[in-house]
Amino acid sequence: MNLECGVVLPRMGRIMYNPKSNKAEEFICHDEVLASLAFAKANKNNLELINKILDKAKLGKGLTHREAAVLLDCEIEEKNQEIFELAQKIKQDYYGNRIVLFAPLYLSNYCVNGCVYCPYHAQNKHIPRKKMTQEEIKEEVIALQDMGHKRLAIETGEDPVNNPIEYVLESLKTIYSIHHKNGAIRRANVNIAATTVENYRKLKEAGIGTYILFQETYNKKSYEQLHPTGPKHNYAYHTEAMDRAMTGGIDDVGLGVLFGLEGYRYEFSALLMHAEHLEAAFGVGPHTISVPRIKRADDINPDDFDNGIDDDIFAKIIACIRIAVPYTGMIISTRESDKCRERVLKLGISQISGGSKTSVGGYAHPENEKEDEETAQFDVSDRRSLDEVVKWLMGLGYVPSFCTACYREGRVGDRFMAICKEQQIHNFCHPNAIMTLKEYLEDYASDETKKIGEELIQKELATLENQKIECAVEKNLVSIENGQRDFRF
Ligand code: SAM
């Protein structure tokens, strides 16, 4: 039984799988994906092989895409139970009970692409188009800071005339410059269309955190059909974007597929091949993986897409990604309901958005509900406020974290991965989570959330293993009560 990938010489004219290649069709090799799917299907009840893969997974060093594909397809009830338990254990070992919080900030919904699943597509003539001025961005950021957010994901449609790189750079400058009361945006991740090495270099210089770009689908044929017009039609340019981002000096990149567009098994294997490629070509895998599912939106009906996945499959995908790439953070947005989020948090999710608006200008003027709905990118399922989300997380035993320290202390890219792979990240993240939660409680929490939070902090302090760190955190907590901010390890 050979689990090695790409060992079977392909037939004439076929493309060989090569994770080190810089060509999209070689590192996301269609034949290799199909071979992995066939292998997984043939072995979904192969107890001996599944046990072997699980034994390897228990070492906590990850799996190949082909091994992970077998676990995803596994039909043996008790082994599936073991998969979920292992995912939970790995989640706990690498990320503890911390959940990092962020919010998306939509700058502009102008878009020249024709993505058939997205209401921002250029053919949509009735959706109001909006691009925020710097003054409007300032208002949005103040509203986000007043909620308690420290970390944003910046989003725009693709439009070289309306949303050129200069606009994104100017907006980043505005975002980082605002300090309202005790507020600050300390990390701005950026989710904008695939661009050039030169532009990625500029984003790096502007101090972005992670560059996020969803592949949408890795299947080239489907990709081209789903993106019939606009620059995004170019599969290779889109798929090779992370290579250009890393060449441009960006340390942390975030992958994702939009589940529902193509068969989930295909996406799962290809997504992991993409992670393998980054590791092989740049020595560092993706910083995060997002798992969005297609949602209802202005002129978009998710039922028009044949590949929707139910909550059970969704949970299994998340568990198997957690096992396959233990050191990669996993993100889930408010596309998902609180019930669904609760279920998958323990299986591997390390970051969630809270209190989100997917419209342009939705935070500062919530009273403009109609406009908000008209410019929203998709329907949000979890509509709770950030305070409610924080309280809910604590009730489930998690420590909500507003930490942005790693990136600001230079623990990025391969340095971050090295610490994470050694399971040392806990030593930084846990004290930082406690201190940033304390800031949130002091500045933004409701009375009830504050009460629960203070009790949680006392409980979590007792879990810090290093006494020196515990003493420093206790001292900093007093300083936070006295008005000082931004302590970090
Ligand atoms: N414009 C950028 C690009 O071209 O990649 C990305 C920004 S877009 C605002 C963020 C993501 O929203 C897209 O990559 C897509 O995966 C997701 N999205 C689009 N339409 C959606 C829908 N109807 N439901 C859920 N997610 C959607």
pLDDT at site 350: 97
pLDDT at site 199: 98
Nearest Cα residue to atom 5 of ligand 1 = 193
At 364, the pLDDT band (50, 70, 90 cuts) reads: very high
pLDDT at site 7: 45
pLDDT at site 1: 45
Residue 106 carries which DSSP code? E
Mutate to test the pocket of ligand 1, among 218, 258, 356 (most ligand atoms within 8 A of CB): 258
Nearest Cα residue to atom 3 of ligand 1 = 193
| Superfamily grouping for domain 95-383 | Aldolase class I (3.20.20.70)
For 91, the 3-state DSSP assignment is helix
The residues spanned by each domain of the chain are 24-92, 95-383, 413-481
- For the stretch 375-384, pLDDT in tens is 887 888 999 9
In angstroms, what is the span from residue 111 Cα to ligand 1's centroid?
11
Least confident of 33-37, 425-429, 476-480: 425-429
In whole angstroms, give the CA distance from residue 182 to residue 78: 51
In angstroms, what is the span from residue 378 Cα to ligand 1's centroid?
9
For 203, the 3-state DSSP assignment is helix
pLDDT at site 113: 98
- For the stretch 132-183, pLDDT in tens is 999 999 999 999 999 999 999 999 999 999 999 999 999 999 999 999 999 9
Nearest Cα residue to atom 21 of ligand 1 = 118
Beta bridge partners of 103: 152
Nearest Cα residue to atom 18 of ligand 1 = 118
Rounded to 5 degrees, φ, ψ at 352 are -135, 155
Least confident of 78-87, 213-222, 234-243, 409-418: 409-418
Q: What is the CB < 6 Å shell around ligand 1?
A: 117-118, 155, 157-158, 191-193, 213-214, 216, 232, 258, 292, 294-295, 297, 300, 335, 377-378
Contact call for residues 342 and 396 (beta carbons, < 8 A): yes
Nearest Cα residue to atom 13 of ligand 1 = 214
pLDDT at site 14: 77
Mutate to test the pocket of ligand 1, among 107, 118, 295, 337 (most ligand atoms within 8 A of CB): 118
For the residues 220-229, what does the mean pLDDT come to?
A: 98
pTM: 0.96
- Locate the ligand 1 atom nearest the alpha carbon of residue 379 and give its number: 24
- What single string gives the DSSP state of each residue in 272-315? HHHHHHHHHHHS---SEEE--B---BTTB-GGGSTT---HHHHH
Nearest Cα residue to atom 14 of ligand 1 = 214
In whole angstroms, give the CA distance from residue 394 to residue 413: 30
Mutate to test the pocket of ligand 1, among 214, 223, 226, 334 (most ligand atoms within 8 A of CB): 214
At 415, the pLDDT band (50, 70, 90 cuts) reads: confident
Contact call for residues 103 and 352 (beta carbons, < 8 A): no
- Locate the ligand 1 atom nearest the alpha carbon of residue 256 and give its number: 16
